[in-house]
Amino acid sequence: MHPFHGIRLRQVNRETSYGRKYTRMNTKNSGNDENHEAVFDRCRIVLCIPPVLEAGIQLQEALEAGDVASVIILRGEMDDAAYQEHCAGLVAIAQAQDVAALVVDDTRALGRVNADGIFFSSGGNDPKELIARFSTQKIAGCGGIKDRHRALEIGDANPHFVFFGKPDGDIRPQAHPKNLALAHWWSQMIEIPCIVMGGSSLETVVECAASGAEFVGLGLAVFSFTDGPGAAIREANRLLDEHAPLFTDPE
């Protein structure tokens, strides 16, 4: 038997695959009414929220500005109690805007703050068991992928998504070439949606979308943007509307 016998190969149009259903997690507009439907047919934004005191205010501004598919709440150096309190406020803000909110690694916080899902920064030695524990009732995704072999191991666990790069790894303006290459390879072959971490510049969304990834992760590009996170989301969605390839051919 093939070692990755359970993985879902991309054999169907994305519009009807599970991957497309996942990208339709919410129906929030990009800010351009004419593109209300189109926004769901190209790469979308996943916000990686930095562990800062003003995160709630910044997130509110970002989500009110335009389309965001989901948010991942980074932990930083917070202890369990602080992280849970931090997540509770951010989850409430996201869910009020019909945006899915995911915690990182903390399964206790997942339940206590009623988050929509969890992102495992590493699948550990048994990613299949880890994903299976949570994926029936919550969104469960996985990262820590450094090569194709590990990607296929994670994919065999059937997570709701895989993540290429680190959610806090946006230390350069552009996305890491290795992560873009993995996203391109994955998106051509595997049905499970992927997020590729962008760089610290908003223009990074163009290269990430070109990889074929369903989602681009943005952190500093939004939360450190000179004109504020709202302006960053509007500009990122404008760039995606103009440059991101469509997942389906227009009729």
pLDDT at 125: 86
Which DSSP letter does residue 47 get? E
Residue 83 lies in a domain: yes
Residue 136 lies in a domain: yes
pLDDT at 4: 38
Question: What Cα–Cα distance (Å) separates residue 108 from each residue in 26, 84, 103, 114, 126?
Answer: 25, 9, 10, 10, 19
Residue 204 lies in a domain: yes
Separation CA 148–CA 25 (nearest Å): 27
pLDDT tens, residue by residue, 123-138: 888 899 999 999 999 9
Per this entry, what is the length of the chain? 251
Amino acid of residue 99: V
pLDDT tens, residue by residue, 142-162: 999 999 999 999 999 999 999
Task: For residue 99, give the H/E element and its range.
Answer: none
pLDDT at 124: 86
Residue 217 lies in a domain: yes
Model's pTM, two decimal places?
A: 0.87
CATH of the domain at 65: 3.20.20.70
Separation CA 197–CA 117 (nearest Å): 18
pLDDT at 40: 67
Which DSSP letter does residue 169 get? -
Retrieve residue 65's tokens. 């500005």
Number of domains in the chain: 1
Separation CA 43–CA 69 (nearest Å): 10
Residue 1 lies in a domain: no
Residue 2 lies in a domain: no
Residue 8 lies in a domain: no
pLDDT in single tens digits along all 251 residues of the chain: 333 334 445 543 333 233 333 443 443 444 444 444 444 699 999 999 999 999 999 999 999 999 999 999 999 999 999 999 999 999 999 999 999 999 999 999 999 999 999 999 998 888 999 999 999 999 999 999 999 999 999 999 999 999 999 999 999 999 999 999 999 999 999 999 999 999 999 999 999 999 999 999 999 999 999 999 999 999 999 999 999 999 986 55
CA angle centred on 79, ends 77 and 80, rounded to 5°:
135
**Boundaries of domain holding 193:** 44-243
Residue 27 lies in a domain: no
